[in-house]
Amino acid sequence: MAMVKDPVCGMEIDSDTAAGSSEYQGTTYYFCSEGCKHDFDTSPWKYVGSGAELKEAMSEPPPVMAPKPASGKKWWEFWK
């Protein structure tokens, strides 16, 4: 038995009496209710994002692969 923090609502709960648990990125999280577990399972990164790199990854748009003419050729010249 150990007191753990429900990452969804921030409540201190006993892992033995937790309503549910989920594993995310190698860590087990415990929840006070099924509702909290469901919220966590739906989008765990919202609650675990203590890692700054994770938040950055979420806030930044995906890198766009801009088409770049590699050799100054027009696109139709590549088909010759």
Residues that bind Zn ion (CB under 5 A): 6, 8-9, 11, 32, 36
Rounded CA-CA distance 40/33 in Å is 11
Q: Do residues 22 and 32 make contact, with C-beta atoms less than 8 angstroms apart? A: no
Cβ closest to Zn ion, residue 12 vs residue 72: 12
Shortest approach of Zn ion to residue 18 CB, angstroms?
9
Cβ closest to Zn ion, residue 4 vs residue 36: 36
Shortest approach of Zn ion to residue 25 CB, angstroms?
19
What are the helix (H) ranges across the chain? Answer: 34-42, 45-48, 52-59
Cβ closest to Zn ion, residue 14 vs residue 77: 14
Shortest approach of Zn ion to residue 33 CB, angstroms?
5
What angle is formed at CA 58 by the lines to CA 57 and CA 60, rounded to 5 degrees? 70
